[in-house]
Structure 1
Amino acid sequence: MRNESDTAARAETSGPHGSLDGRIVLIAGATSASGEAVARALVAAGATVLAVGTRSEALDALAAAVPGVDTRVCDLSDRSAVAELAMRIHLKFARIDGLIHLVGGWRGGGGIAGQTDEDWAFLERSFETLRNTSRIFYDDLAASPAGRLAIVSSSAVDRPYAGGANYAAAKAAADAWTRAIAQGFAKEAPDAAATIFVVKSLAGLEQELAARVVDLWAQDPSTINGVRQVLTASADGTKAAADPARIDG
């Protein structure tokens, strides 16, 4: 367990409200195109980025592309592995200030009858990584003077269709879990916030997502906690905009 002097020391090395200087941000599922974009933007803004993934070669490539990133190999679907990861992080950094969950992937097709157990197992594993990381690091984020948690969800949650029923159900579970975290923060940690970025597809929105992640630390937590930020491409596909909408509950 971290003592009060550890917490005080971390607070002193962190930047003022709105600043990422001295903040420690963990990216779960960091080796995707969106993970690289988010890592690059956070490092440029002054954060220390802990990039976590399951493939060491992909993490090595990320470290080469984004100098300064601290890479960690971990199976985030294994709660004991996440607990060990947290122990190692706490030994070096005392706590984290941000958790950006980018683990995911689409599986579907075949209508309701064609929703396979194999696809569901894959999607459920992605959700399990959110459950594990958020449970293990919840106290870190609540104790931080600027704790932030963000996930990427899908517009399929609001408009599910038969061929993507597995996918929409898994994303709906992640949405609900994050809303529950937001409710916990509202009661226990007013300086922390949990938010959801909603996309139809992340393709082409990686830079917009990265900018929105960095901007989380510039926002008053009460204005983004429990909020869906819908990212959409413009008609010409060259620019994206966000349409924030508060989640009920």
Structure 2
Amino acid sequence: MAEHTDSTASTRTLVLAGATSAAGLATARALIAANARVIATGRSVERLQELADAGAQIEIADATSVEDMTALASRIGPVDAVVPLVGGWRGGGGLAGQSDEDFAALLPALHAVRATSRAFDDALRASDAGRFAIVSSTSVARPLAGGANYAAVKAASEAWTRAVAQGYAKAARESGERLRAAAVVFRAKALDPEALAARIVALWAEDAAELNDRVFDLG
């Protein structure tokens, strides 16, 4: 097996949590083509089958559950990157149309960011180049009344991820070691699965000190 370097995804182990989407499949295929080990999670073996066919290791686990994610972390051993991919959109109708039901339906995306970052915190800090990345939206920078629920959940997810980034930096500073782990945000207006896949494959193209706490626009 090739030696790990900070500039390649080759031989890295990545967890794609809640990966049963077009973005999850595109990312898994791109990473596998780059010689990475991909662990894809979902709640349905049937929906995970296409990922298994692409070469991913599949695990039945709820990405929004810290208990499930912690159990997964203990089973799979060393991990170099975690990307929660739970998403979805509901909105419209102006501010009056921002129902509690829609808000509740969007919250799993935030729950997945919280659960995965907490469960894999030790593993990502232990990696020689750990990466935590989330998918957000350009609506955070310019929220609209008809998408207030969605923008609020994405903004909260970004805030949590930036706190993860600060935690990585603080731990490195206090230990007197170089920063090895980085947390980043990918923002998209309309998510292009292939564009996201390319950016995740390139997560090791920059040193953690340059990458940590950055927001990237996927267009």
TM-score norm. by structure 1 comes to 0.82
User: For 2:195, which of 202, 208, 214 is the aligned residue?
Assistant: 208
- Give the drift of 1:20: 2.4
Name segments (4+ residues, structure 1) moved above 4 Å: none
Q: Deviations over 1:12-50 (max 9, x none)?
A: 975122132331100012111111111111111111000
CA–CA distance in structure 1, aligned partners of residues 130 and 104 of structure 2: 31
Indicate the SS of the match to 2:204. Answer: helix
User: For 1:151, which of 124, 134, 141 is the aligned residue?
Assistant: 134
CA–CA distance in structure 2, aligned partners of residues 86 and 144 of structure 1: 13
Indicate the SS of the match to 1:17. Answer: coil
Q: Relative CO higher for 1 or 2, CA cutoff 8 Å, sep ≥ 6? A: 2
Question: 1:162 maps to what in 2?
Answer: 145
User: For 1:179, which of 162, 186, 190 is the aligned residue?
Assistant: 162
8 Å Cα contact 1:14-1:23 kept in structure 2: no
Indicate the SS of the match to 2:49. Answer: helix
CA–CA distance in structure 2, aligned partners of residues 230 and 33 of structure 1: 19
5+ residue gaps in structure 1?
1-11, 233-249
Q: Summarize the alignment of residues 117-128 of structure 1 with structure 2, pairs less than 5 Å apart.
A: 117-128=100-111
- Which protein shows a greater Rg? 1
Bigger mean CA deviation after superposition, 167-176 or 49-58: 49-58
CA–CA distance in structure 1, aligned partners of residues 111 and 3 of structure 2: 30
Question: 2:214 maps to what in 1?
Answer: 227
Q: Summarize the alignment of residues 1-249 of structure 1 with structure 2, pairs less than 5 Å apart.
A: 15-64=4-53, 66=54, 68-89=55-76, 94-189=77-172, 190-202=179-191, 205-232=192-219
**Percent of paired sites with the same residue:** 50
TM-score norm. by structure 2 comes to 0.92
